[in-house]
Structure 1
Amino acid sequence: MNMKKSIFILLVGTTLLGGCNLAPKYERPAGAVPVALPQGGVYPAAPTDAVDVSRIGWRDFFLDDRLRQVIETGLANNRDLRIAAGNVQQARAQYRVQRADRLPTVNATGTATYTNNVFGAQGGAGTGQTSSDLEIYQATVGLSSFELDLFGRVRNLSRAAQEQYFASEEAQRAARISLIAEIANAWLTMASDNEQLRISRDTAKAFEETLKLTQAQFRIGTGSELEVRQAETNYQGALNDIAALETSVARDQNALNLLAGTTVPAEQLPTGFGTEPMTRNALPGDVSSEVLLRRPDVLQAEHQLIAENANIGAARAAFFPTISLTGTLGTLSTALSGLFKDGTYTYTGSPSASLPLFDFGRRSGNLEYAKASQKVAVATYEKAVQTAFREVSDALAQRGRIGDQIRAQTARAEAAGVAAKLSDARFRSGVDSFLTTLDAQRTAYGAEQTLVTTRLTQASNLVELYRSLGGGLEDTTPVGTEQPPR
């Protein structure tokens, strides 16, 4: 009975001390960035009723159905995303292994022992000998060396593994957002290059007609060889642009195939930039910098910080005794049929405690390492927040003036086009020199190309603003992974 009382007292004490946790209290680092996003100056004044960009599903944000299909293909086939999903599954499995240490491992065993004993009187000849067989059957259920987590060592290790799992899941979410943005930018770049290619081909035809005209004038003596060479310079320059852009379009498709994880069908590829918007023209409302704390990369850094806090608790607990318990409950009988009958039950209990007296600084080193790792995690978290703030601020700064650029460049391209037509007509009628026409053609060609580049910048800026504010998570529930147990 004394043994039973001792074990009972030990278990009650374990329950009472089970809440002991030596990990430092977690507090989210504050003050890494200003409270509000930048306003005024080049930054746009967003309407107060604007929707939260991060809450817009990517299928609603991107308006071109071809682009939506490519994004959907990429989310299903991209290899980097599969690696991220595999990392989540690995972290979840590691967490389950570590969590299992908080509960005892119960084993069931059954044994049978057969012993032959020989008995005989010592003496001379004729000494009689007798023998008997002894059979012992035993069945037990018990636990072996289960650590009683009085100081939270095992619990903190389990918490650290859990937070690493959460961090891996946030890393997967961040990878999904980045993939959506990368596919969109690659698709838009291909659309821009195709548009540039169309302009170069149209311009090459116009330059070819001008070249033929100058060659004809030179043959009849009304033009000079200089004008022919100048016209040929323009024409050959356009041919060079065509060759370079054809290469760029091919490389754009290769990049898009890699991001999509498969060959993108021709009907899903952009043929030009067009005039219809390809994304929603969404501006964030009056948001504070707190919205950045919801970004997956920031949440990933925070989970890693919490994990390092837990590791400090585990390192501190190593300075206290490790108490473990081995116990069995079973039945013992000399006959197999006698097992589980009254009077055959048996139990054992053997608690033990150990504390290293001299480890030559091993535990102190582990604690210092855990504290240093926690400081690194704090700085990493603050940097993640600051990086997010910078990315959003940059996108807003460009967003604030990109509309002015588009309007100015559109007007410039229109004016340059009209000037080129007027100059060509004046040259053909003998009013202006060919040099004036040549310069007007070059200006119009360059203005059209710059306009396409500016429109690409505008579309890419919207994608970047969408990504940097954490958009893209809606309608993208990870496939093949479970939600974390929070």
Structure 2
Amino acid sequence: MNAKLKLISVMTISAVLSGCSMIPDYQRPANPVMLENSESVVDASLAADTGWQEFYQDEQLQQLIALSLENNRNLRATVLQVEQLRAQYKIQRAELLPAVDGTASATRQRLSEGVSSGSQTVGGGGIYEEYQIGVGISAWEIDFFGRIDSLQQAALEQFLASEASRRSIQLTLVSEVADAWFSWQATVAQLEFSSSTREAREESYELINKRFESGLASELALRQAETALHEARIAESSFQQQANQNFTALELLVGQRLDRQHWQADWEDDDPLLQDLPVNLSSEVLLARPDVMQAEHQIKAANANIGAARAAFFPRISLTTAIGIGGSTPSDLSDSGNRLWQISPQLSVPLLDWGVNDANLDVAELEKDINIARYQETIQRAFKEVLDEMQARDTLDAQLNAQQDLTKATNRSLELAQIRYDAGVDSYLEVLDAQRSHIDAQLAQIDTRLARLRNQLTLYKALGGGLKAYSGEVIEPAMP
């Protein structure tokens, strides 16, 4: 058998022998909550399959979400981290195969008398040349006990966990953009209402001032109107500041400056802003939430690391091989009789490591237990998010209806108070009290509607909605 066949045979036998694995059999941890017995749980599969362009029905919001997915720096950094872990997995996977290097060398030297060159002793000195070309494998570890394969599996699970993390960040980003958009719209609506209130109080102050100068109104009524005017000015400035801050928060999420004149806040539009989600359906597809999947991949990575830690107790076998041609002149490289070859297996057996391998195995097993606890805590948190939002939905609907009725009632009270004041029956204080009640009710109605929208978008995100642009769109992580 020639040298090349020997080398191929050794590599083939080594590859066959490297099929052993020390990774424990994986079993998904038990769910800490019983989803199937829970009441009023949305069918999460329907929510997750609903594209964000279908759930968020505001065209301006759809444009903002698309811009954020393209420009947001946090999401971009996460995507780059996923690519980094993908490259690390490729590096780890490549270690299962031998790295073949091509070599070429040329040596020309002068030797003095009595100095040996190779296997010959030079008597009178002289100039000597040596040329070699070949290919070889340097210290390739034969994965007989699955140490490298375990590390490769761990790297793969880390990559999949990072991909799940990216998807989770995307869900959060879509939800945060929608929240920022609705918050800005609500604040603009409150700003416009406070501006109209300030204008109305300016008119009231001017009217009462004229009546005061004519002796038809007391100074107390004048000062009360003046106080109410200043209160309206303060509220208007406060809402203006909040609107500015909400808009810059929106710009941060989108990842670019926005022309405020281009984006119109139409808070009073009666068209639905969000698609309704189905109710009273039970499902366990919360396990498919990206954060839950990320936690499970972390368990699998720790499980694979246990296999690597176990394999460290066993011998390591490495192989160094080379084949080539050498000679004292370049023309010798074409002579098949000058062939060279080398096979150098090496065995390393752990004898005394002062407990390092035992400690590494303990660390790997504890890391798995830690990740199991985090996985179960993630499921509990996911279940709580869904249940809280489902329970809040009914109460917020009732609260919004009651708030709308209160706003109508306070508006009628204000009308009656103004009529009684104009007729001289009540003081201007009664008008101010009715105004404050109506203002508080109107602002609270805007806040309640915002809370209702936040409840819907939070529930949508909690059920895994926001990964797809349209229903039926398949989103799969790109495998390394």
- 1:69 is matched with 63
Give me the whole-angstrom Cα distance separating, in 2, the residues matched to 1:177 and 1:482.
15
- Using the size of structure 1 for normalisation, the TM-score is 0.88
SS of match in other structure, 2:274: coil
SS of match in other structure, 1:33: coil
Taking the TM superposition and a 5 Å limit, the aligned residue runs for 1:10-21 are: 14-21=14-21
- AA matched with 2:355: G
- Using the size of structure 2 for normalisation, the TM-score is 0.89
Give yes or no for the alignment of 1:373 onto 2:370: no
Q: Would you say the 8 A contact 2:7–2:321 is kept in 1?
A: no
Deviation readout 1:113-163 (Å, 9 max, x if unpaired)? 55778999xxxxxxxx87887654332211011000011110111111111
The correspondence for 2:385, drawn from 382, 386, 391, is: 391
Give yes or no for the alignment of 1:204 onto 2:198: yes
Give me the whole-angstrom Cα distance separating, in 2, the residues matched to 1:19 and 1:287.
46
Q: CA deviation at 1:417?
A: 1.1
Q: Would you say the 8 A contact 2:98–2:137 is kept in 1?
A: yes
Q: 1:141 to 1:2 in 2, by over 3 A?
A: closer
Q: Would you say the 8 A contact 1:164–1:304 is kept in 2?
A: yes
Give me the whole-angstrom Cα distance separating, in 2, the residues matched to 1:112 and 1:53.
69
Give me the whole-angstrom Cα distance separating, in 2, the residues matched to 1:118 and 1:364.
56
Q: Would you say the 8 A contact 1:62–1:278 is kept in 2?
A: no
Unaligned runs of 5+ in 1: 121-128
Aligned residues: 468
Q: Would you say the 8 A contact 1:192–1:272 is kept in 2?
A: no
- 2:290 is matched with 296
- 2:120 is matched with none
Q: CA deviation at 1:334?
A: 4.9
Unaligned runs of 5+ in 2: 115-122
Q: Would you say the 8 A contact 1:298–1:384 is kept in 2?
A: yes
- AA matched with 1:104: P
Give me the whole-angstrom Cα distance separating, in 2, the residues matched to 1:117 and 1:199.
99
Give me the whole-angstrom Cα distance separating, in 2, the residues matched to 1:204 and 1:117.
103
Give me the whole-angstrom Cα distance separating, in 2, the residues matched to 1:387 and 1:235.
47
- 1:91 is matched with 85
Q: Would you say the 8 A contact 2:320–2:344 is kept in 1?
A: yes
Between the two proteins, what is the percent identity of the paired residues? 38
- 1:354 is matched with 348
- AA matched with 1:29: P
- AA matched with 2:25: K
- AA matched with 2:139: S
Give me the whole-angstrom Cα distance separating, in 2, the residues matched to 1:231 and 1:20.
87
- AA matched with 2:216: T
Q: CA deviation at 1:2?
A: 12
Q: 1:244 to 1:258 in 2, by over 3 A?
A: same
More off after superposition, 79-88 vs 30-39: 30-39
Taking the TM superposition and a 5 Å limit, the aligned residue runs for 1:165-244 are: 165-244=159-238
Q: 1:113 to 1:352 in 2, by over 3 A?
A: same
- 1:422 is matched with 416
More off after superposition, 338-347 vs 236-245: 338-347
Deviation readout 1:411-468 (Å, 9 max, x if unpaired)? 1111211221122122212234433322221111111111111111111111111111
Q: Would you say the 8 A contact 1:305–1:374 is kept in 2?
A: yes
Q: CA deviation at 1:259?
A: 1.3
- 1:124 is matched with none
Give me the whole-angstrom Cα distance separating, in 2, the residues matched to 1:237 and 1:118.
104
- 1:125 is matched with none
RMSD of aligned alpha carbons: 2.9
The correspondence for 2:463, drawn from 465, 469, 474, is: 469
Q: 1:248 to 1:132 in 2, by over 3 A?
A: closer
Q: Would you say the 8 A contact 1:214–1:227 is kept in 2?
A: yes
Q: CA deviation at 1:203?
A: 1.5
SS of match in other structure, 1:168: helix
Q: Would you say the 8 A contact 1:51–1:285 is kept in 2?
A: no
The correspondence for 2:445, drawn from 451, 457, 460, is: 451
- AA matched with 1:398: A
- 2:102 is matched with 108
- 1:315 is matched with 309
- 2:119 is matched with none
Give me the whole-angstrom Cα distance separating, in 2, the residues matched to 1:338 and 1:51.
72
Deviation readout 1:78-99 (Å, 9 max, x if unpaired)? 1111211121121112112211
- AA matched with 1:400: D
More off after superposition, 298-307 vs 277-286: 277-286
- 1:31 is matched with 31
- AA matched with 1:295: R
Give yes or no for the alignment of 1:54 onto 2:34: no
Give yes or no for the alignment of 1:152 onto 2:157: no
Give yes or no for the alignment of 1:138 onto 2:142: no
